[in-house]
């Protein structure tokens, strides 16, 4: 008999094919399942495992309602701020994520946002789609150079380091702030700042790669945006909770920031539409890992975690030990 699995959201076809081959699972179609539906489906099917994505909040109350026959909850994401890991641990429920496999694609997207925010990608694209038809003077529609600038990275984990590697190809000086200093081989020439506020005045470009938690909530606010040099470019592919979006909008409107590239928002998918009214913002809908190769690898990694636990082995990517 195949193990029983509940999947809370539509996932790529290749991952679905593997699920069909290895699990007994009702394949989700259409709408994302909410917490009540997931709990009901887990109970009705006597599921052994749950595969979820970051749209589903596994808070303490929901974790308490997960039936005992569920042996693991695996999230199809590297971020796990939607999971109350302490509650899962208290209950002895293994929870896993999908690190590593999305590092390079998420770093690519961060760089896409840096380039588009600095070089006015959204505005150029809009002009072309309207038919162009007017030559711009040599002093019009100018972006700011990325090459040779100083890039500040908050959160020098796997993705932050991958962004730093790309930045070196753009001749950038890389500075970073992290909870701990990296060893020299990982630092690879990047300069460490223990104090985030002390780093900010040096950041001509600032890219966020820190986890969302109590320590990083609203870390970018009116005070910290003001510490950036005038004309800085701001990028966030981490989590919206790191940013006070009203303060960001003020900094963009006043021209203190030259531009911003945003893939994540405080509220998703119903993000703050005021951001979309600003010309100097380049927006993407939380798509850091959205390539064929990476999404497939994430799904397989989540399934590998599930299979390991159901086979009585330790999870590959445990969120608690
Ligand atoms: C991740 O994997 O954490 C992405 O941001 C999608 O949630």
Instruction: Read off the CATH number of the domain in which 73 is found.
Output: 3.40.50.720
Q: Is residue 316 part of a domain?
A: no
pLDDT in tens, 77-127: 999 999 999 999 999 999 999 999 999 999 999 999 999 999 999 999 999
Q: Is residue 315 part of a domain?
A: no
Asked whether residue 66 falls in the same domain as residue 120, the answer is no
Q: CA-to-CA distance for 113 and 119, rounded, in angstroms?
A: 10
pLDDT at 31 over 90: no
Residue located nearest, by CA, to atom 4 of ligand 1: 77
pLDDT at 169 over 90: yes
User: What is the CA(288)–ligand 1 centre distance, in A?
Assistant: 7
Asked whether residue 186 falls in the same domain as residue 119, the answer is yes
Asked whether residue 109 falls in the same domain as residue 230, the answer is yes
Asked whether residue 128 falls in the same domain as residue 78, the answer is no
Question: Tokens 């399942």 label which residue?
Answer: 33
Any atom of ligand 1 within 6 Å of the Cβ of 99: no
Q: Is residue 317 part of a domain?
A: no
Asked whether residue 135 falls in the same domain as residue 201, the answer is yes
Asked whether residue 120 falls in the same domain as residue 265, the answer is yes
Q: CA-to-CA distance for 249 and 230, rounded, in angstroms?
A: 15
Residue located nearest, by CA, to atom 5 of ligand 1: 79
Any atom of ligand 1 within 6 Å of the Cβ of 102: yes
Asked whether residue 46 falls in the same domain as residue 113, the answer is no
Residue located nearest, by CA, to atom 3 of ligand 1: 79
Q: Is residue 27 part of a domain?
A: yes
- Average pLDDT over every residue of 9-33: 93
User: What is the CA(12)–ligand 1 centre distance, in A?
Assistant: 15
Asked if 228 and 256 touch (Cβ cutoff 8 Å), the reply is: yes
Of 202, 239, 295, 301, catalytic: 239
Q: Which atom of ligand 1 is nearest to the CA of 53?
A: 7
Count of beta carbons in the 10 Å neighbourhood of residue 109 = 24
Which of 9, 15, 14, 13 lies closest to 305, judged by CA?
Answer: 15
Asked whether residue 178 falls in the same domain as residue 271, the answer is yes
Q: Is 268 a catalytic residue?
A: yes
Q: Is residue 67 part of a domain?
A: yes
Instruction: Check whether the bond before 269 is cis (ω within 30° of 0).
Output: yes
Asked if 303 and 120 touch (Cβ cutoff 8 Å), the reply is: no
Q: Is 202 a catalytic residue?
A: no
Mean model confidence pLDDT for the chain: 97
Asked whether residue 88 falls in the same domain as residue 134, the answer is no
User: What is the CA(78)–ligand 1 centre distance, in A?
Assistant: 5
pLDDT in tens, 212-235: 999 999 999 999 999 999 999 999
Model confidence at 30, in pLDDT bands (50, 70, 90)? confident
pLDDT at 29 over 90: no
Asked whether residue 97 falls in the same domain as residue 107, the answer is no
Supply 100's token pair. Answer: 């590593």
User: What is the CA(69)–ligand 1 centre distance, in A?
Assistant: 27
Supply 199's token pair. Answer: 């780093």
Q: Is 239 a catalytic residue?
A: yes
% of the chain surpassing 90 pLDDT: 98
Structural domains of the chain, count = 2
Of 44, 191, 223, 268, catalytic: 268
User: What is the CA(140)–ligand 1 centre distance, in A?
Assistant: 37
Domain containing 267: what range?
103-283
> Residue 28: what pLDDT?
81
User: Which of 8, 52, 54, 104 for mutating ligand 1's site (highest number of atoms within 8 Å of CB)?
Assistant: 54
Asked whether residue 108 falls in the same domain as residue 180, the answer is yes
């Amino acid at each position: 008999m195949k193990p029983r699995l509940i999947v809370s959201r539509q996932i790529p076809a290749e991952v679905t094919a593997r699920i069909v081959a290895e699990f007994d699972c009702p394949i989700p179609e259409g709408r994302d399942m909410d917490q009540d539906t997931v709990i009901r489906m887990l109970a009705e099917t006597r599921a052994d495992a749950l595969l979820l994505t970051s749209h589903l909040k596994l808070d303490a109350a929901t974790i308490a309602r997960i039936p005992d026959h569920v042996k693991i909850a695996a999230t199809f994401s590297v971020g796990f701020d939607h999971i109350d890991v302490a509650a899962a641990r208290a209950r002895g429920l293994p929870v896993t994520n999908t690190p590593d496999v999305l590092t390079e694609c998420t770093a690519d997207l961060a760089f896409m946002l840096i380039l588009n925010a600095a070089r006015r990608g959204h505005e150029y694209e809009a002009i072309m789609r309207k038919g162009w038809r007017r030559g711009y003077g040599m002093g019009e529609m100018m972006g700011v150079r990325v090459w040779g600038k100083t890039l500040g990275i908050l959160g020098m984990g796997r993705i932050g380091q991958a962004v730093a590697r790309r930045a070196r190809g753009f001749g950038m000086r890389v500075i970073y702030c992290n909870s701990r200093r990296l060893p020299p081989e990982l630092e690879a020439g990047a300069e460490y700042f223990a104090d985030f506020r002390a780093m900010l005045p040096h950041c001509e470009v600032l890219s966020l790669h820190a986890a969302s938690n109590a320590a990083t909530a609203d870390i970018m606010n009116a005070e910290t945006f003001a510490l950036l040099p005038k004309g800085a470019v701001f990028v966030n592919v981490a989590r919206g909770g790191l940013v006070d979006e009203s303060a960001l909008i003020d900094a963009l409107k006043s021209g203190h920031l030259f531009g911003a590239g945003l893939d994540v928002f405080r509220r998703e998918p119903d993000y703050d539409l005021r951001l979309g009214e600003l010309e100097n913002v380049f927006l993407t809908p939380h798509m850091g890992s959205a390539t064929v190769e990476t999404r497939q690898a994430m799904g397989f990694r989540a399934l590998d975690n599930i299979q390991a636990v159901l086979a009585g082995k330790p999870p590959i990517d445990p969120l608690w030990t």
